Structure 1
Amino acid sequence: MSATRRQVLARTGALTAGIAFTGAFSELFAGTAAARGHHTGYGPLVPDPAGLLDLPKGFRYRVLSREGEPLSSGEGRVPSNHDGMAAFAGRRGRVHLVRNHENRVDAAISVPTVKGLTYDPMGKGGCTSLELDGRGNVLSERVAIAGTAVNCAGGPTPWGTWLTCEETEDKAGTNGYTKDHGFVFEVHGADPQRTGAVPLTAMGRFQHEAIAVDPQSGIIYETEDAFQRPFGLFYRFLPNRPLGGTRSLRAGGELEAMRVPGVPDLSAIQEPGASFDRIEWVPVPDSQAKQTPIRLQDFGPKGITHAQKLEGCYWGGRSVYFVSSFARSGEGSAADHFGQVWKYEPHRRRLTLVIAFGPSTDIQLPGESPDNICLAPSGGLMVCEDGSGAQHVYGLTKSGTVYAMARGRQNIGTPEAPEWGEFAGVTFSPDGETMYVNCYTPGTTFAVTGPWG
């Protein structure tokens, strides 16, 4: 097992370091309301008597859904492994939550197969959809897509659908699958039958993580969380029908991978503010990876740029931001880090390292291995921690203040050796009044309300 961030810092004597991160943090809020905020947090977390979720004073939570409970649709039980999620506005003030289930072949509770919504009957993953009324009550819960595999993250589209991403590249005949996996699927939360279970094959077959859509051009950016060296790539997809609405992505397009001239591995760049112009986008030789995974394909004598643990991805202002959760030289990266946030400006073809975490950073703030991220309408970013020890949702402000917003209290270990499930899928209601977040294990979806202003 690889050393955790806390173990590494203990060995290096960095346990009392006081700098949480380095870089121009205000960059992360470009073009958003959060850029104008001066938030400093909500105070200390208050222990939850119910032992589920600690929050600051004045905040409260409601459990919307837990794995194993019956789906109100009657289709089966709520599946395991709650992961990426997004919230969409419905009619009459309603909200539709679309939630990933990162289920592999050994999932405790798989996503039930449903006619017209199942891609591969042997796939255990997929999405469920919750419909909430204006008061936050759950009106319905049902399957939104089934028969997919390892649905990790994804991202919303400008026309109100969710793109769910398979974080695998298993082919038919592997692990019992009857079809190839490693695709993106479009999911309509309010009416899943409108989108069905059709893979968007032109967007590539690889270990997908997250996506972000440029609302002006319709170009879609994609991260790849490959588990072995050579690590993943950062892609862009040029749709034939950009911003065409539901099902427009089925019209295909071209997939390209990012090349930073002279930089084969992003982990080698350690100084925040380091910037690279004239970024190149190279057509992917075989986007379906029929014989060879994309990251192993021949991109010519100049090669291609890789990075370990490419995860969160979002659009802000005129740029796309993406996260490398960590890099470990012992696993094949060029250098070590405990988290990077990169910004790509399409209009300038410029890539900049905005934020770097560790190794000389405080082990408590902002936690280990930043993963899912979202912009908070009340001002700031919310970051899901994915590491060892206690698990938090952290808030980050423009001024660089890091504060704990939530702490998981569901012990999945033992009293002697406690463990806590990671957080995932943090997102906000369309009116900004409610934060929704998942606990991965045991699969739990929370709605958090309080004085967000």
Structure 2
Amino acid sequence: MSATRRQILARTGATAAGIAFTGAVSELFTGTAAAATAARESAPGRGGYGPLVPDPDGLLDLPEGFRYTVLSREGEPLRSGEGLVPGSHDGMAAFAGHRGRVHLVRNHENHADARIPVPAVPGITYDPMGRGGCTAIEMDGRNNVLGERVAIAGTAVNCAGGPTPWGTWLTCEETEAKAGTDGYTKDHGYIFEVDGDDPRRTGAVPLTAMGRFAHEAIAVDPGSGIVYETEDAFEKPFGLFYRFLPRKPRGGIGSLRAGGELEAMRVPGVPDLSVVQEAGATFDRVEWVPVPDPSAKETGIRFQDFGRRGITHAQKLEGCYWGGSAVYFVSSFAQRAIGSAADHFGQVWRYEPGRRRLTLVIVFGPDTDVQLPGESPDNICLAPSGGLMVCEDGGGAQHVLGVTRHGEVYAMARGAQNIGTPDRPEWGEFAGVTFAPDGGTMYVNCYKPGTTFAVTGPWH
């Protein structure tokens, strides 16, 4: 999420566009592009929750009947007294706590020059010069905040991640910076395990066997314990899609420290996923190739030699989650102008391990109105209804989109905090969309200004 499509468009002189939706996720919803386009903003009938109502407080526009609570804002004091709430709110997940409580673990994608760092706390700080990390918010069943504290510190550019089946968060560093760069005293580009209930149980230990690269997100297969990982790279060579085979596949806190094998996906005959343009395109001979040097001591992984047959790359691999019997992952966009083999405005892929099958299930394409939802999908999660919630990270207005089981795309939320000027408004992207364990609350972050919302209402 460090380089958004908005920034790339500005560099290349391209014009932002609205997005239409085609394709279907067979396990979650079915539908047509026409149905999706017709449901854009108003989402009549069973799809969505109706038009968005402008927020008089200028923070978050929601459908009628829904309301939000601001749980946390950057610059406010942490309730733990450890310092200020850091900014750059990014990936996030919600976990069930004791006595009906909920723990939110939230990433802070802070670079070395971040204005408000994640405060260093003894025992859970990796590199004292790292300014990123995670904070944890504890709430009761009514979203009243009971506590807020640092969950890990001293990391860098904590972008997304993902939950584990045993109730911890894997936070991912989206950087390849080594010690001595930007003032860091240790190498960065790792995954760290974080326990939002008791951060000292996990500490600040890099899971080095899972690779050192610009991580974005992960998803864990609850049956096999295999961890799938995305790499966010917007310049050539583009990122890879990985799987990590843990030595202790049954999991548990600290189990990933035991190591394992890291592999990268090869789709025979497809060196760049952007060339695949048709929703429903399927590849039945997916291969997994061992990564020569997961630690990237001398050469970044995506630059390494994977042999005569090569490896499959994709631009801006971002969101990743497990649903049903498959892992889904997002390519946020691709542009020929910056090296991709073809252009697209967003793809969602499904990989079925049992069949070794890869399918392009969602494609986003140009439309006419940038104010309509649906540009550059980023963080993504399953909704309690069985559909999807997708965070936008593009140009123009920023939305949380819903995609119903019936194939309708609708706007669930729209950012109202103008971070530009009255003449040239701009809105921060959404990130970290997730649901409470009981499905009754949607939590989501505004990246800038860093704001965490709890959204309640008449969920289907």
- TM-score, normalization: structure 1? 0.94
Identical residues among aligned pairs (%): 80
| Deviation of the 1:442 alpha carbon | 0.5
Q: Which moved more, 1:366-375 or 1:261-270?
A: 366-375
Q: Does the 8 Å contact 2:370/2:397 carry over to 1?
A: no
Q: Which letter does structure 1 place at the counterpart of 2:411?
A: A
Q: Is the 8 A contact 1:46 1:57 kept in 2?
A: yes
1:444 aligns with 2:451: yes
Whether 1:165 and 2:179 are equivalent positions in the alignment is no
- Who is 1:60 aligned against? 67
CA shift for structure 1 position 362: 6.5
Map Cα deviations across residues 196-241 of structure 1 (whole Å, 9 max, x no partner): 0000000000000000000100000000001320000000000000
Measured on the aligned residues, the alpha-carbon RMSD in Å equals: 1.7
> Which 10-residue stretch deviates more, 96-105 or 353-362?
353-362
- 1:58-207 equivalences in 2 (<5 Å): 58-207=65-214
SS of the residue 1:21 aligns to:
strand
Q: Deviations over 1:376-401 (max 9, x none)?
A: 10342111110111111111112221
Q: Counterpart in 2 of 1:33?
A: none
Corresponding residue to 2:244 among 237, 241, 244: 237
The CA distance in 2 between the partners of 1:361 and 1:52, in whole Å, is: 26
Q: Is the 8 A contact 2:27 2:324 kept in 1?
A: no
AA aligned opposite 2:404:
T
SS of the residue 2:365 aligns to: coil
Confirm whether residue 313 of structure 1 aligns to residue 312 of structure 2.
no
Aligned residues of 2:238 and 2:315 also touching (Cα < 8 A): yes
Displacement of 1:368: 1.2
Paired residues of 1:150 and 1:166 also in contact (CA < 8 A):
yes
User: Partners in 2 of 1:25 and 1:299 — Cα distance?
Assistant: 31
Q: Which residue is equivalent to 2:227?
A: 220
Within the candidate set 250, 253, 266, 1:246 is matched to 253
Q: Distance in 2 between matches of 1:449 and 1:359?
A: 32
Distance 1:303 1:226 in 2: 18
Question: Relative to structure 1, is the Cα distance of residues 217 and 365 closer, same or farther in structure 2, using a 3 angstrom cutoff?
Answer: farther
- CA displacement, residues 334-358 of structure 1 (integer Å, 9 cap, x when unaligned): 0000000111110111111111111
Cα displacement string for residues 95-117 of structure 1 (whole angstroms, at most 9, x for unaligned residues): 00000000001112100000000
Secondary structure, in 3 states, of the residue corresponding to 1:88? strand
Once the two structures are superposed, residues 398-437 of structure 1 have per-residue CA deviations (whole angstroms, 9 ceiling, x without a partner) of 2221111111111111112111111000000000000000
1:358 is paired with a residue whose SS is strand
In 1, are the aligned partners of 2:317 and 2:331 still within 8 Å (CA)? yes
Aligned residue identity for 1:251: A
Letter of the 2:150 counterpart = V
Amino acid at match of 1:275: T
Q: How many equivalent residue pairs?
A: 439
Q: Which stretch of structure 1 is more off in the superposition, 147-156 or 224-233?
A: 224-233
Change (3 A) 1:277 1:365: farther
Which amino acid letter does the alignment assign opposite residue 451 of structure 2?
T
Give the distance between the partners of 2:369 and 2:58, measured in 1 at CA: 27
**Alpha-carbon spacing, 1:44–1:7, altered in 2? closer, same or farther (3 Å):** farther
Q: 3-state SS of the aligned residue for 1:139?
A: strand
Q: Does 1:355 align with 2:362?
A: yes
- Give the CA deviation at 1:135: 1.5
Query: Which stretch of structure 1 is more off in the superposition, 274-283 or 249-258?
Result: 274-283
Q: Which residue of 1 is the match for residue 9 of structure 2?
A: 3
Partners of 1:21 and 1:361 within 8 A in 2 = no
Change in Cα spacing, 1:319 to 1:385, as seen in structure 2 (3 Å) is: same
2:20 pairs with 1:20? yes
The aligned residue for residue 35 of structure 1 is: none
Matched residue SS, 1:250: helix
Q: 1:448 to 1:93 in 2, by over 3 A?
A: same
Q: Report if the CA contact (8 A) 1:365-1:402 is conserved.
A: no
Residue identity matched to 2:22: T
Specify the SS of the correspondent of 1:357.
Answer: strand
Determine helix, strand or coil for the equivalent of 1:432: coil
**Relative to 1, partners in 2 of residues 1:276 and 1:214: Cα closer, same or farther, differing over 3 Å?**
same
The corresponding residue for 2:331 is: 324
**Deviations 1:46-84 (Å, cap 9, x if unpaired)?**
111111111110000000000000001010000010000
SS of the residue corresponding to residue 274 of structure 2 reads: helix
CA drift of 1:367 comes to 1.9
C-alpha separation in 2, matches of 1:139 and 1:370:
32
**Cα distance in 2, alignment partners of residues 186 and 25 from structure 1:** 30
**Mapping of 1:361-372 within 5 angstroms?**
363-372=370-379
1:285-320 C-alpha deviation (Å, 9 max, x unpaired): 000000000000000000100000000001111110
In the alignment, the residues of structure 2 paired with residue 188 and residue 216 of structure 1 have an alpha-carbon distance, to the nearest angstrom, of 21
Q: Is the contact made by 1:39 and 1:380 (CA closer than 8 Å) also made in structure 2?
A: no
Q: Report the Cα offset of residue 8 of structure 1.
A: 4.1
CA distance 1:6–1:43, shift in 2 (3 Å):
farther
Which of 425, 434, 440 is the equivalent residue of 2:441? 434
Shift in alpha-carbon separation, 1:6–1:289, aligned structure 2, 3 A: closer
- Larger CA deviation: 122-131 vs 401-410: 401-410
Contiguous gaps of at least 5 residues in structure 2: 1-6, 31-44
The TM-score, its normalising length taken from structure 2, stands at 0.93
- Which amino acid in the other structure matches residue 9 of structure 2? A
Shift of 1:21: 1.6
Q: Secondary structure at the match of 2:285?
A: coil
In structure 1, the partner of 2:4 is none
Counterpart residue number, 2:42? none
Contact 1:257 1:304 in 2 (8 A): yes
Q: Deviations over 1:140-161 (max 9, x none)?
A: 0000000000000000000000
Q: How much has 1:363 moved relative to structure 2?
A: 4.6
